A and B are shown apart, each in its own frame.
Chain A
Amino acid sequence: DIQMTQSPSSLSASVGDRVTITCRASQNINSYLNWYQQKPGEAPKLLIYAASSLQSGVPSRFRGSGFGTDFTLTISSLQREDLATYYCQQSYSTRTFGQGTKVEIK
């Protein structure tokens, strides 16, 4: 089974800050990596698919990068509405999720 290791588990940043979340796969998954945003009481929302493709309707401040085993989600300028938990997910073989990163606003 493919394991996904996500870090940090939580972070606190100010509005306007650049935020970076990393995700590492236990084996090569090419670009089969997605990023989801989940707000309390809601289902996860797709932000980035195939490592770097922005889902329709998602603000351009969200950017994904990486290939193989190491991936990054960057929020270029944090906004209050970005308060949420972010998960990476591999779709190379069945599905596995990272542990999540809770983003808080200072």
Chain B
Amino acid sequence: EVQLVESGGGLVQPGGSLKLSCAASGFTFSDSVMHWVRQASGRGLEWVGRIRSETYSYATTYAASVKGRFTISRDDSKNTAFLQMNSLKTEDTAVYYCTRQDSSGLYDYWGQGTLVTVSS
């Protein structure tokens, strides 16, 4: 069974940094494309970015709203993906979900999310 467990959320001041983790199990993590998606309270889902596998040189792609501030990485030896968030803004306040792209590429498996609050 695919399991994704996010951690690292919390309260951070504007301009600060936070690093989220996504611990994966139940599938071959090293072969998988991993995404991050966020959802502000009462709002819709927003794709944040993705990281591909070693076969594709760990290539990353980001949404325009976070490009240059957020960095996605992974440690295949620990079956964990990361989201490093720098220069945080109040509008980055959201639940952040880690998702695993199915091997077919068609759909995703989701974690339960971790809440990030950016506030002074």
Contacts and interface: CB of A to CB of B under 8 A. Distances in A.
DSSP class of A's interface residues: helix, strand, loop or mixed? Answer: loop
B70 to A, nearest CB: 14
A62 interface: no
| Of listed B44, B107, B111, residue having the most chain A CB within 10 A | B107
B37 interface: yes
Q: Bin chain A's interface residue count.
A: 20 to 34
Interface in B38-60: 44-47, 50
A95 B97 contact: no
Contacts of A69: none
A87 B44 contact: yes
Nearest to B110: A43
Contact of B107 (A1, A49, A94, A100): A49
A71 interface: no
Given A43-B112, A43-B113, A94-B50, A100 B106 contact: no
Interface of A: 1, 32, 34, 36, 38, 43-46, 49-50, 55, 87, 89, 91, 94-100
